[in-house]
Chain A
Amino acid sequence: MKGYHGKILIIDLSSQQIIQKDISINILKNFIGGNGLGTYLLYKYCPKGVDPFNERNPIIFVSSPLASTKITTSSKFAVLTKSPLTGFIGDSLSSSHLAIQLKKTGYDALIITGKSSYPLLLFINNNRVEFKNAEKLTGLSTSEKEKSIKKIYGNNVSTATIGPAGENLVRFASISNDGGRQAGRSGAGAVMGSKNLKGIAIIGDKEVEINNEIELEKIAVKLRKKSIGDSTEKYRNLGTIANINIFNRLGTLPSLNFNQSNFNKAENISGEYMHDNHFIKSAHCANCTIGCEKIMQTNDGKSNIKTRMEYESAYALGPLVGINDSNSVIRASHLCDEIGVDTISAGATIAWAIESFKKGLISLKDTNQVHLNFGDSKSVMTCLNLIAKRKGIGNLLAEGSQIASKLTGGGSEYWAMHVKGLEMPGYEPRSLKTMALGLAVSTRGACHNRSSAYEADFSNKVDRLSSDEEKGKITMDGEDISVVMDSMIICKFLRKSFDDFLYESSIIYKHITGIKVSKFDLKKSGERINNLKKMFNIREGWTINHDTLPKRILNEPIKTGIATGVELSENDLNKMIQSYYKSRGWTDSGLITKQKLRDLNLLEIVNK
């Protein structure tokens, strides 16, 4: 077997037993790797109906055929589990040296199940697994844990750690690796915490055989050259935080818990401003030639904080909670990374809390006498610290906006800005209608990355303000191509460096694995993976009512910015959703027919 190891490792933390299993070339070909292979493994190893915090819910770290090759931006891995935030499929990607070490363990995936009876650090060295007492790591931040683990095993190991938030089962806790990179969305850090697993150290030296090194190198050289060209200019220079001023101008920057679709003081936290006042250097993941990470430093004379700043964190900890002070945004983003929470869910849940406080549903007693106000950095920092410890109001907010609003009642579900429990990213759906559909139907909840549907909206391909039915196929195609990227795995910031992504990927795949696939085969794999994700959700209780958007979005027109007055009614959204189901070949209720499962070679898998 080339490009893959053909093996997975199952680690049971309860019994401390490890089992090695073969995985067939057919499964690898059909699900590629990364997110796709992880979806297959989650479907197989996650018992139906299990609570996400039950020890039988597995957490799966998945490598990919491209990891550890010379293809730029390919040092990525996927983490899958049943999400404690949504109760549906949870998948996240992260990057850098951990992806390389994971690949070199000699396994295509690590499945961690069970629960340790004591605080645990897993050390995985090729096929050797050590269960080490991690009592001393308990309570440390993500970066402190990483440093401590490297003191034990040396700087060559790569680590995956959780912070206090993961330990305290904050439902949007992240997993941190390689100095602050995050598998952020869906709450995988909380699942790690539920297993009493504080961290994982990984090192390996098992190389896979590459089918055609010479031809692969030719493509790698070409892609490296393209990756420092026009197709990545924004990512390389200002980074994704350049979106702040642009989205603000286009009326697509949500602020004040989606009460507004632009932000008066956006300039103060913009990429241009940050670059002039806080920028230190660009950084990049292992084996990446783009370098999208922009390291920013505070300059307000208080404690010196340095952190990566990117668009989604700046949106969620800035405009969404009304903060226009760049130092405060940097501090909040850094704190999220240290306590180990997803910045988007954290910001959106705090925005919900601020609005609930203003409406009298949360009291001063709940907040330890701290007034929660939009634009007040103290509100945000107080909430973040309480969330990490699940103290006071933090215990409620640690549940995420969906559960917190249900527990609070008083109509607060109306302004809980999530889909299926996952909080909304920084794309205003009322003025980005393809994105609106992508957010509504995404299997992991309000996610901008799994469909990249915004791309059509930011082009002449569609009228972004119109709810027409052509958006169904566009969203489906976007999802299927995106999941191929997330399975190969290659960074989405490289996507415009390809002339024909599916075709060029099929060539790369052949040179790595020796398996000949066409671009149509890859597209079919994308469709297969997304259908299996949907089948997982159906198995876990999905109904058509879950494919929707927050009530505020469906009941209020945009009030500010250039798209003022633009609406998205429930009826219009449902028409787009039906067009998406039709494109997918699903029933009007969004269910998958047996014939469709048969066509995608999924029938046997879902019937087992």
Chain B
Amino acid sequence: MTQDKNVNLVKIKIELFGTARMLTRKKNILINVPINTTLTTILSETLNQCPELSENIISIKPIKLRKSYTMNLNGYSYLENEKLKIKPNDSILLIPSQSGG
């Protein structure tokens, strides 16, 4: 990731569930992103470490989450707006958008 040196980066965790975990064989990864960031940046950083998610979970052109998945911040709110503010040690859960069962 190319970053302006003046931008503070924070480390956050991306937790992978369901097919995302099966494809990557990873339960979670750590990424560095600016405090004032975007969903696109988070997905882009996630793809850098988990290229297996490409197209299956994350569309490439443009970079966005497929409708089959959703992003949840720390187990509570669902990320819908492109721009967001995060804190160090935040966790973003990559989970299926279908909640039933």
- Could you list which residues of chain A lie within 8 angstroms of chain B, going by C-beta atoms? 229-235, 237-238, 240-243, 245-246, 249-251, 271-272, 275-276, 310-312, 452, 454-455, 458-460, 464-465, 492-493, 495-496, 562
Contacts and interface: CB of A to CB of B under 8 A. Distances in A.
Given A234-B68, A251-B75, A562-B75, A272 B100 contact: no
B18 A234 contact: yes
B75 A249 contact: yes
Contact of B19 (A233, A454, A455, A492): A233
A455 B100 contact: yes
B74 to A, nearest CB: 8
20 contacts: A230-B66, A230-B97, A234-B68, A234-B97, A237-B19, A238-B22, A240-B101, A243-B101, A246-B95, A249-B75, A250-B75, A276-B22, A310-B101, A311-B101, A454-B99, A455-B99, A459-B78, A493-B98, A493-B100, A495-B100
Contacts of B22: 237-238, 272, 275-276
A240 B98 CA distance: 9
Nearest to A458: B99
A458 B15 CA distance: 17
B80 interface: yes
B67 interface: yes
A246 B80 CA distance: 19
B100 A492 contact: yes
A235 B17 contact: no
Nearest to B100: A492
Contacts of A452: 100
Most buried by A among B15, B18, B78, B95: B18
A234 B86 CA distance: 28
Contacts of A460: 77-78, 80
Given A231-B68, A246-B17, A249-B15, A454 B100 contact: yes
A230 B19 CA distance: 12
A229 B97 CA distance: 12
B68 A230 contact: yes
Contacts of B99: 454-455, 458-459
Interface of B: 15, 17-19, 21-22, 66-69, 72, 74-78, 80, 93, 95-101
Given A459-B78, A460-B77, A249 B98 contact: no
Contacts of A492: 100
Nearest to A271: B18
A246 B100 contact: no
B73 to A, nearest CB: 10
Given A237-B19, A562-B75, 20 more contacts: A230-B66, A230-B97, A231-B98, A232-B98, A233-B69, A234-B97, A237-B22, A242-B17, A242-B101, A245-B18, A271-B18, A272-B18, A276-B22, A452-B100, A455-B99, A460-B77, A460-B80, A464-B76, A465-B76, A496-B98
Contacts of A243: 101
Most buried by B among A229, A242, A562: A242
Given A230-B66, A237-B22, A249 B17 contact: yes
Contacts, number: 82
Contact of A272 (B21, B68, B75): B21
Nearest to A272: B21
Contacts of B93: 246, 249
Given A238-B22, A460-B80, A245 B101 contact: no
A455 B77 CA distance: 13
B98 A246 contact: no
**Shortest beta-carbon contacts, A-B, top 3:** A240-B101, A233-B68, A234-B96
Most buried by A among B22, B76, B99: B99
A318 to B, nearest CB: 14
B67 A231 contact: yes
Nearest to A314: B101
Contacts of B75: 249-251, 562
A235 B98 contact: yes
Nearest to B96: A234
A233 B100 contact: no
A238 B18 contact: yes
Contacts of B18: 234, 237-238, 242, 245-246, 271-272
Nearest to B57: A233
Contacts of A230: 66-68, 97
B92 to A, nearest CB: 12
B80 to A, nearest CB: 6
Contacts of A251: 75
Contacts of A562: 74-75
A233 B17 contact: no
A505 B95 CA distance: 29
Given A238-B22, A245-B17, A233 B101 contact: no
A189 to B, nearest CB: 22
Contacts of B101: 240-243, 310-312
Contacts of A250: 72, 75
A73 to B, nearest CB: 13
Most buried by B among A233, A310, A493: A233
A464 B78 CA distance: 11
A460 B68 CA distance: 16
A287 B48 CA distance: 40
Nearest to B15: A249
A275 B23 CA distance: 12
Contacts of B68: 229-231, 233-234
Nearest to A276: B22
Contacts of A241: 101
A544 B100 CA distance: 28
Most buried by B among A250, A310, A452, A465: A250
A550 B75 CA distance: 25
A245 B17 CA distance: 7
A544 B94 CA distance: 41
Nearest to A455: B99
B34 to A, nearest CB: 23
A240 B95 CA distance: 13
Nearest to A240: B101
A452 B74 CA distance: 23
Contacts of B100: 240, 452, 454-455, 492-493, 495
Nearest to A452: B100
Nearest to A292: B101
A458 B78 CA distance: 8
Contacts of B76: 464-465
